[in-house]
Structure 1
């Protein structure tokens, strides 16, 4: 069933506030599936809880379930004449198409970087007594990459993918510590909860997300934006991960410049530590 037709059929039974969400959804373009719950609430002129009630009122478990249905609804249209199909019609050169999209994502990420915030993040991490990266799913893999990158330049950091261990790590953080949460959507419940716990203990919280208005930004002391939006049907896209890794690399480069001789020594030392494991 066409999702807009479904919303229209439920429309009379919705509350006035829920109808505001429905009105925006019925008149929105395909871009709506890339919106965070906070953004949709702002655009509709209601609160986040109203958006959640709207989703349940029309038969979905929550906002992410609703976005998945949106993506499934728009997918046939994209195949019939959307960006993907248009790119194939241009020259049939899909490697070039992917390359253009990835380079565009990196360029967009650089344009989103607030240099003052980046420098503040570097300063906070440089002065931190302990650094913990939080993330789940693909963002959890980015957190592990960030840990490896930090160790290469002699910076002690931790990143755990086990949910129970993450929770215990979060509540044992304190003043002088820095917690970095990575979430493309900014709406990942586990990551937001972990950052909330860390902040309650006094840790400074940095968020890497694609959405300036999303739940994760409300618990962060500092937000660094990435690019590379993906629909629920495109989870784990390489472009989104590249945008996250670019920001991590910028932070590491900033840290390295605090003491270039120490960084050079650590790079040599860590390289020697693993060289025997390579043929």
Structure 2
């Protein structure tokens, strides 16, 4: 068996909860082979029916092989097909109880605004639920600990991902940490080459293959900084240079709602989780720093009268 096939057949991390199965499929399907995608689609479209099938039966239903079914189970995080069948049965029970809503349909050009609001709200809620279900909390804990102890923090992102990075930097600055989120890719690289052990670099890229984000993270990685990737594609190139990987989910991309909009919701959830994790670990100095920033802003909005 080749090393690549061995890697495919090794179960990545802890077995996902049943509610996370659909989220894992949505996140990983783009990187699967076509035959594996057929298996994954069948699992999500009919979890109850799939759970009732043997590995041979599911292979026949999807026009694939038993090896493909087992490989798909492993890629989704299950040690074997038996474990996947148990998760499918549990997922089917949750759906029957109304606890696992499906993703809403795309927004149409002629949709009334009330429908737009309802569809977007459901998409956002599903996106957050998927991210929460698939996020590796052990990796998240390690990332928060690294940030809390960091001498300096760089955050790299382009476009909408840079806006998310700026959000994280503003939060960290308010609790007294030194953080930067350069929007210019050249400045990002020149910042990255100054990092060293004890510093942290965070890359935010939904696709996992944005060159202007990969380059500075690689530079930081090579200089010994702790590197973190926040991405919707854990199999992307960015993962090669990430000590810690935080996977985000996303609502389906459509003509009227590109990935940059859809991915931002899950990225912001991860950013908020990171910030809270850091604040918990640095509470003794974070709380006074937050109070000082609130007081400073209050004085700007309510300046003292002249002569006092």
CA distance in 1, matches of 2:200, 2:111: 48
Is 2:284 the partner of 1:261? yes
The structure 1 residue matched to 2:233, chosen from 211, 230, 234, is 211
1:165 is aligned to 187
Alignment of 1:67-216 (within 5 A): 83-84=105-106, 93-216=115-238
Instruction: Please report the RMSD computed on the Cα atoms of aligned residues, expressed in angstroms.
Output: 2.9
The count of corresponding residues between Structure 1 and Structure 2 is 208
Q: Once the two structures are superposed, what CA deviation does each residue of 1:59-96 show, in whole Å capped at 9, x if it has no partner? A: xxxxxxxxxxxxxxxxxxxxxxx922689889962211
Contact 1:138 / 1:236 at 8 angstroms: preserved in 2? no
Partner SS, residue 216 of structure 1: helix
CA distance in 1, matches of 2:265, 2:107: 24
Is 2:301 the partner of 1:278? yes
CA distance in 2, matches of 1:89, 1:141: 29
Change (3 A) 1:159 1:96: same
Contact 1:39 / 1:213 at 8 angstroms: preserved in 2? no
CA distance in 2, matches of 1:110, 1:169: 31
Q: Once the two structures are superposed, what CA deviation does each residue of 1:195-225 show, in whole Å capped at 9, x if it has no partner? A: 1111111111100001111111111111001
Contact 1:88 / 1:94 at 8 angstroms: preserved in 2? no
Cα deviation, residue 154, structure 1: 2.1
Q: TM-score, normalised by structure 1?
A: 0.67
Q: Which runs of 5+ in 2 are unaligned?
A: 1-25, 36-103, 303-308
Cα deviation, residue 250, structure 1: 0.6
Cα deviation, residue 179, structure 1: 0.4
Partner SS, residue 106 of structure 2: helix
CA distance in 2, matches of 1:139, 1:111: 21
Q: Once the two structures are superposed, what CA deviation does each residue of 1:125-177 show, in whole Å capped at 9, x if it has no partner? A: 11211111011111011111110011122222111112221111011111111
Partner SS, residue 274 of structure 2: helix
2:33 is aligned to 43
2:272 is aligned to 249
Partner SS, residue 154 of structure 1: coil
Q: TM-score, normalised by structure 2?
A: 0.61
Cα deviation, residue 272, structure 1: 1.9
Which has more helix, going by share of residues? Answer: 1
CA distance in 2, matches of 1:126, 1:144: 18
Contact 1:230 / 1:240 at 8 angstroms: preserved in 2? no
